[in-house]
Structure 1
């Protein structure tokens, strides 16, 4: 095994970007950034404290209150977003290289995420120009219309899995609608975020519209959430942190979008196209190293095909290519950080007492160091098992059989999460009815996570609060003001023009 190739021209230090300038932390504080194949520190990043967050928010607020961006026509903002998309597309190879090196994601999958980031900007560039708002007319009496306005400074807190794409998913609609932003990426994977300042500057985004701070969630993220000049918070991450953010933001009645954890079911009926279902379920849990919120990490299989399915599933898992993130043959790379590696490995040990191990179960052969986990398959897993109930966020799957449609639905809904679900059947009626019974924000029927950007993204239960995607993102990042105009004579009761009424005596009728 060779060591991961360090990308050329890395910055000597990762700095914040505030009001159009790269700046260090005010107190000079830093944190180490590790490369997941060797777990060695390859760079230090500036670590923001409260004063640094205040500085970034002040720049964003000044750009919103005094700058041109919120006052530009949608078409003008759209042109800037299209230029951003063009630049991102032109640099997809560099983005993928940095993403694979920093996060451990296989480079072929990182390349796809870089291209998706460009598409996010292009999509919202088109959407803000095509946006139509409601207008209502009462003939000869009144005209009512909705006026959309940007809200202010948006605090964007992004996760360490596919970080550049996740950042684009929030940045594009936030700035498209005229807001200014402060972005805080995850501290495990800050590298690709340093490309945004150059991209935005080249595209013509005014200074102060985009501000970038690095640091911990407990300090920088917490202060950003609580800051009185940040009325919008969009967060993607684990459910426990989401609950903390919700509590912190509540006293100021901030607009919140929380996309949190998942333990998504993939339900395979006996009448499914089995080969397609295997393709989708294997890819759904092992792609992106299993570090994806929508992973189908619980596979529920009808008993009549169960034995054949698990044998074929395990055989595929054993053949998955584990390798260096930068190798184009790699299908599963290194997990993002040693802390996360230890968490996933601890769940594998738990799983050995909760299910029957058919594949994996530890480090892959030939990888004695680094954050490598062999694709792991547990079968015959009971519904109350921890590996069935809790989010592992790694290349680990729990498979269990079911006998009836009613049992399958109960098993699918038997977690605190409700983000995504996948359903495989050739019975169209059952597919639609079953989908409506599943407690999840999104359902894919005979498909694997191919999402139309116009559709809402989000979950129910512990998987989140609110929706983004398409017009829902426009709704979230704007305030909707109702304007009423009288077209005729206003019919308003006239108070205060009559003589005061005579005082009533005790014998007068009840005035009610």
Structure 2
């Protein structure tokens, strides 16, 4: 029986909540030109706590104009890296100083457990510090051909970057894009997810107080089909960085083609967690539980397909399911809560429908729907299905919630075939004590990121991204610097250049003679 973090349904409402969330364009908080708005719900009660300005084509045009003016006429792109780094470090200071408030608002807006939301705020600050350091330390290639030529690379910001971010851990994921885009001298237009605009609205004041020039950062709230679509199609936005689901990424790919935009897209996932019989089983269970049920299961890198070698399969299933049944589900603001409320009723209905599908495709070991003690709100008990066929929908399709499918295998070859048997290729987790197997499997699994005997612990210097339907391109570390800058090769001659003299009349006459 899933336990509760409180005896009754709780609804913590932070003090000082806005009743209306505006855009931020050219250094000013503004509403949509046409006055359009949408409702913003909290996931515990599903009641409207605010309205938000709903951006349209004309609002995106206004934001892009402000960003382009700041790029062409403002000081930001031409500032020395150290000067920009000072601003980024002040941003990080401000984020850290209000960590508790940010976490409280993030939890209220997303339903994430408060203990996990606190970690996201600190990670956001670290992203700004990391790229502040990186842009100062950045160096580029210089190549010399002795006595002939010197070649060097000149790195330049590209222009207005369009950033489209998701609703899971929104503040932290916004920082992943904002920090490198700003560090490299670009200006930005951010379109946050419509489900969770609250924490994104905090960036404007943070940036203003840190001394970021007006117009460098612009924010347009709204629906993906309206504000997001307009941003992707805008001819004065040469870059789009998008994190979200795969079908939306395909639409963005098509719409960006007309203007040949630079694209970086981190998309969906259905990542395998492969547990071999020689693994440290207790450690693997700890990691697998955290990997699929933390952040309410709403994480792109969730190890939502667990593949277990046959000799330890039943033991693994029994222990895993017993732990899943004991996970604390309840009020996201309660520090004891481990799984909170899903972000929105629309998403709740999607996850709940997959749970019902799973009951026809696997053996239900834990969960299976709404916890009995939580009759309201977007709550799904951690749900475990065993004996799931690789053709099953819950094996193949991204659920993005606290639902896991467990499947047995007999050989290394079968494990690899199962691991690669989806359209996705974002992450993979491998548990084994065999060093040769670990490296061989890592080389052959179709995933952009692999963790050996570990859950998702990532160094900011490493590439982040997927293969197949999980994404296009990589960000993280110097790869983010590459994406947000143009690399111009400059060639300087150091001596006489011997060039064929096409069309030289004197040379032609001499040859004829």
Regarding TM over 0.5, the answer is yes
How far apart in 1 are the matches of 2:244 and 2:119? 21
Query: What count of residue pairs does the alignment treat as equivalent?
Result: 502
Offset at 1:498? 2.8
Report the counterpart of residue 241 of structure 1 in structure 2.
Answer: 248
Find the residue that maps to 1:382 and give its secondary structure. coil
Q: Deviations over 1:249-295 (max 9, x none)?
A: 01111000010000000000011111110000000000000000000
Report the 3-state secondary structure (helix = DSSP H, G, I; strand = E; otherwise coil) of the residue aligned with 2:337.
coil
Does residue 332 (structure 1) correspond to residue 339 (structure 2)? The answer is yes
Select 2:475's aligned residue among 461, 465, 468.
Answer: 468
2:292 equivalent to 1:285: yes
| 2:68 aligned partner | 61
Q: Which residue, 28, 31, 35 being the options, matches 1:24?
A: 31
1:395-474 equivalent positions in 2, closer than 5 A:
395-474=402-481
**1:314-340: CA deviations, max 9, x gaps?**
000000000111111100000000000
Aligned position for 2:167: 160
What does 1:215-230 correspond to in 2, within 5 Å? 215-230=222-237
Query: For 1:111-160, what per-residue CA distance to the aligned partner results, in whole angstroms no more than 9, with x for missing partners?
Result: 00010000000000000000010000001110000000000000000000
- Is the Cα contact below 8 Å between 2:188 and 2:218 reproduced in 1? yes
Matches of residues 166-245 of structure 1 in structure 2 within 5 Å?
Answer: 166-245=173-252
Aligned mate of 2:302, from 295, 299, 306: 295
Contact 2:265 / 2:472 at 8 angstroms: preserved in 1? Answer: yes
Q: Look up the match of 2:488.
A: 481
Name the structure 2 match of 1:94: 101
1:309 matched to 2:316? The reply is: yes
> 2:358–2:394: 8 Å Cα contact kept in structure 1?
yes
CA–CA distance in structure 2, aligned partners of residues 343 and 265 of structure 1: 21
The secondary structure found in structure 2 opposite 1:181 is strand
What is the CA–CA distance in structure 2 between the aligned matches of 1:362 and 1:5, rounded to whole Å?
Answer: 24
Name the counterpart of 1:369.
376
8 A contact 2:19–2:49 mirrored in 1: no
Structure 1 residue 106: Cα displacement:
0.3
Counterpart-to-counterpart distance in 2, 1:14 and 1:324? 25
Whole-Å Cα distance in 2 between the matches of residues 341 and 497 of structure 1?
76
Deviation at 1:3, TM superposition (A): 3.1
Which SS does the other structure have where 2:469 is aligned? helix
Quote the residue 2:3 is aligned against.
none
SS of 2:335 mapped into structure 1:
coil
Distance 1:500 1:421 in 2: 66
Q: Residue deviations 1:80-124, cap 9 Å, x none? A: 101111110111101100000000000100000010000000000
1:15 equivalent to 2:15? Answer: no
Q: Alignment partner of 1:457: what SS?
A: coil
Q: Pick from 104, 114, 117 the counterpart of residue 110 of structure 1.
A: 117
Question: Secondary structure at the residue paired with 1:42?
Answer: strand
- How far the C-alpha of 1:2 sits from its partner, in A, is 3.6
- In structure 1, stretches of 5+ residues that fail to align are 503-512
1:347, 1:22 → 2: CA distance?
Answer: 40
* Alignment RMSD (CA, Å): 0.9
Partner of 1:507: none
Aligned match of 1:265 in 264, 267, 272? 272
After superposition, the C-alpha distances for 1:405-450 in whole angstroms (9 at most, x for unaligned) are: 0000000000000000000000111101100100010000011110
Q: Distance in 2 between matches of 1:81 and 1:4?
A: 35
**TM-score by structure 2 length?**
0.97
- SS of 1:252's equivalent in the other structure is coil
Distance 2:17 2:353 in 1: 34
- How far apart are residue 499 of structure 1 and its match? 4.9
Aligned partner of residue 11 in structure 1, secondary structure = coil
TM-score by length of 1: 0.97
Report the 3-state secondary structure (helix = DSSP H, G, I; strand = E; otherwise coil) of the residue aligned with 2:163.
Answer: strand
Please say if residues 9 and 374 of structure 2, whose CA atoms lie closer than 8 Å, have aligned partners that are also in contact: no
Give the distance between the partners of 1:92 and 1:225, measured in 2 at CA: 32
2:112 & 2:37 partners in 1: Cα distance?
25
Distance in 2, Cα, partners of 1:459 & 1:323: 33
Secondary structure of 2:424's counterpart equals coil
Unaligned residue ranges in structure 2 (runs of 5+): 1-7
2:425–2:446 contact (8 Å) kept in structure 1: yes
